[in-house]
Amino acid sequence: MSDGNDSRRNSMELIGTRAGTAMPIEMRQALHLKGLVPSSIENFSKQELRAYQQLMSKSTSLEKYEFLASLRSLNVNLFFRLVLNHFKDIAPIIYTPTVGEACLNYSHIYPFLYPFKTSIGLFITLSDTENMDMVIDNYRQLMADPIDPEITVITDGSRILGLGDLGVNGMGIPVGKLQLYVAAAGLNPGRTLPIVLDFGTNSEQYLNDPLYLGTRERRPDDNTFYEATERVLQALHRAFPGLLVQFEDFSTSHAFGLLDKWRQKMLCFNDDIQGTGCVILGGFISAVKQAGIPAKDQRILFFGAGSAGVGVARQLVDYFVVDHKMPRDKAGALFWFVDSRGLITANRGDVLTKQKTRFARHDNGDVQCGTLEDALEYVKPTALIGLSTVHSAFSEKILRRMNEINAQSRPIIFPLSNPETKAECTFEEAMRCTDNRVLFASGTAFTEYTIPGTDDIRIPGQGNNMYVFPAIGLGAVLCKPDWITDTMFYAVAKALANSRNEEEKAGDELYPRIERIREVSAQLAAAFITQAVREGLVKEAHWRDIVSANMPCTQDDDTTGSSVDGQFSKRVLGEVKTLMWKPAASVEQYIVESITNPNVDEM
Ligand code: NAI
């Protein structure tokens, strides 16, 4: 039997334990800890220093990941303090690339210390989908206070980061991604809900792994998949009507199928499909502005015409249509594609897939180009975009030729294939072969480059979705539009290009520095909310009022007057910033916040 005093004492013990060496003297006395803990009373900075030293002492990335996972389960505040203050170092551990390694090993490194009465998220089997209300009830019982989650990242583990079908092991992705939503954009950690649909796996390796933690069955057919997923989504929607659903790492056809089915029925988006196009568009807009020739004179050659290549190209076409008022067919004519059979033309003699047909050239006469080199000579591109998975495809010869072709302007070169072993070229190669004139963005993170004989250090741009998905999540959670339109993504891409400061522009950086991610996320979320209100899809009077009552601030040198401009007012930005969660700065603040928002530490 417990009475009120017991539960007060229990919660004080819990808060005290998490405050750790920062526990104030009065709390130590009340909990009778004198003589049982070290006497030093520290502040959070000192704890962070110790945690960082411990993190750095781990010799492998996976060990660092495990250390951080256990730290998070013990002390959310310290974990996020550490992540925020060392974002550039830690983001690649809690997310790509290390999270991929963690997922591959997930069943072997679980549990990452999840103490009793804490939850990592939901593991939903096919049969659970028949009892979703019970699953949601269990989740609610576990939480210290029934505060609804406001964002979920949901995967079925079928296509994890290009590593293939990892089944339930894919849970590491929603967990890691939601940590980035919190760190990069200030979503409340206690209101994030990772979900894995444990519907089986087609991976023999996992089906035969004695430690595999998921359902040991092959994946169901499409009908069963869509019906079961519908039961999950409807139950979530019933229980938490304003919940933002981010679909993650589903197999390509299911990813498109789910998005098509749900995007206008509930608040949801797919980062692989929509976030990627958005972040590349942001970098491309920055590059076109700096290239030194009018946008309409760009000639863009894509190497690789798979789902990523065609998806990205479609977003870039929108840029010429929306910002430069070009008719869609004229904008489309600025694009050429090379796939494994050469330049994609309508008359090259093979049957093209529907997605390739859209970009097939009809103006090539008898000319066919079998290789990238031939296509380069034929197209004379101003921009070369690689989404081919072919390592080193942008050879020295090709890079040097891009430099010659664009002698009067700046060559745009985006080797976007991931991981590094598939990248079409490195930053160093691109800089060296273009006399340091390249406007560069890659899919993978390359190291900085010092221009030989100078102290001039150049930072490569990375088209990392991390720039946009946390901000889209924040914007959507705050203003809750009826649904998320393409133009909202477009506004975010514009705001991303606008968010570079003078130093970044002067250094030819196409993206803001990752250390500024919180500030950038606030700007992008403000642009999202402004666009959502302009489109009439926001019901909350609060946001409608502050968007309409304040003129957008001009933070862009773009004078095209386009309708989707990615702008926002200082008032909206200020409001967004005040609503972003951040870790408590002091133990006193932590104690007050733990009492008012007990859920933060439960996830
Ligand atoms: P995919 O396999 O669907 O497409 C690859 C394309 O490259 C196909 O058109 C294929 O014909 C072409 N290709 C392959 N070998 C070739 C060769 N030897 N010569 C000429 N063309 C060749 O792959 P998907 O899904 O389109 O992804 C491509 C790459 O893009 C991946 O490495 C992926 O990691 C990367 N990616 C990067 C993103 C980013 O930077 N944020 C986002 C999404 C994808």
Residue 554 has pLDDT above 80, yes or no: no
Most confident of 419-423, 522-526, 553-557: 522-526
pLDDT in tens, 252-280: 889 989 999 999 999 999 998 899 999 99
3-state secondary structure of 303: strand
Q: Best substitution site from 248, 316, 388, 442 to test ligand 1's pocket, by max atoms within 8 Å of Cβ?
A: 388
Q: How far is the CA of 410 from the centre of ligand 1 (A)?
A: 25
Mean pLDDT of 450-474: 96
Q: How far is the CA of 280 from the centre of ligand 1 (A)?
A: 14
CA distance 483 to 498: 25
Question: For this structure, is 95 an active site residue?
Answer: yes
pLDDT at residue 559 in the model: 40
Is the whole model's pTM more than 0.85, yes or no?
yes
Output the six-digit token pair for 124. 């939903």
Q: Kindly report the backbone phi and psi dihedral angles of residue 266, in degrees, each rounded to the nearest multiple of 5, phi listed first.
A: -150, 165
Q: Which of 491, 560, 492, 485 is nearest to 325 (CA)?
A: 560
pLDDT at residue 557 in the model: 44
pLDDT at residue 185 in the model: 98
pLDDT in tens, 366-398: 999 999 999 999 999 999 999 999 999 999 999
pLDDT at residue 308 in the model: 84
Q: In sequence order, what DSSP letters do the residues of 531-592 get, joined into one string?
A: HHHHTT-B--HHHHHHHHHSPPB------S--S----B-HHHHHHHHHHS----SSHHHHHH
Catalytic pick from 106, 110, 177, 449? 177
Residue 307: pLDDT band by 50, 70, 90 thresholds? confident
pLDDT in tens, 565-577: 999 999 999 999 9
Burial 150-175 (b: 16+ CB within 10 A, else e): bbbbbbbbbbbbebebbbbbbbbbbb
Mean pLDDT of 25-41: 90
Residue 257 burial by Cβ neighbours in a 10 Å radius (0-12, 13-18, 19+): middle
pLDDT in tens, 144-191: 666 899 999 999 999 988 789 999 999 999 999 999 999 999 999 999
Going by CA atoms, what residue is nearest to atom 23 of ligand 1?
Answer: 306
Output the six-digit token pair for 187. 């979503």
E strand or H helix at 255 = helix 252-262
Are the C-beta atoms of residues 171 and 129 closer than 8 Å to each other?
Answer: no
Length of the chain: 603
pLDDT in tens, 190-229: 999 999 999 999 999 999 999 999 999 999 999 999 999 9
Burial 109-146 (b: 16+ CB within 10 A, else e): bbebeeeeebebbbbbbbebbeebeebbeebeeebbee
- The most distant pair of C-alpha atoms in the chain lies apart, rounded to whole Å, by 88
Kindly give the number of the ligand 1 atom that is closest to the alpha carbon of 422: 32
Q: Which of 350, 345, 340 is nearest to 368 (CA)?
A: 345
Question: For this structure, is 177 an active site residue?
Answer: yes
Residue 550: pLDDT band by 50, 70, 90 thresholds? confident
* Ligand 1 pocket by Cβ (under 6 Å): 162, 276, 304-309, 338-340, 387-390, 416-418, 422, 443, 463, 465
E strand or H helix at 337 = strand 335-339
Residue 1: pLDDT band by 50, 70, 90 thresholds? very low
pLDDT in tens, 402-448: 999 999 999 999 999 988 889 999 999 999 999 999 999 999 889 99
The more confidently predicted of residues 553 and 241 is 241
Burial 363-379 (b: 16+ CB within 10 A, else e): ebeeebbeebeebbebb
pLDDT at residue 595 in the model: 73
pLDDT at residue 549 in the model: 87
Q: What is the mean pLDDT of the chain?
A: 92
Q: How far is the CA of 388 from the centre of ligand 1 (A)?
A: 3
pLDDT at residue 418 in the model: 85
CA distance 526 to 540: 15
**Please, what is the Cα angle at 517 between 512 and 520, to 5 degrees?**
70
DSSP state letter for 188? -
Q: How far is the CA of 93 from the centre of ligand 1 (A)?
A: 25
Mean pLDDT of 502-526: 96
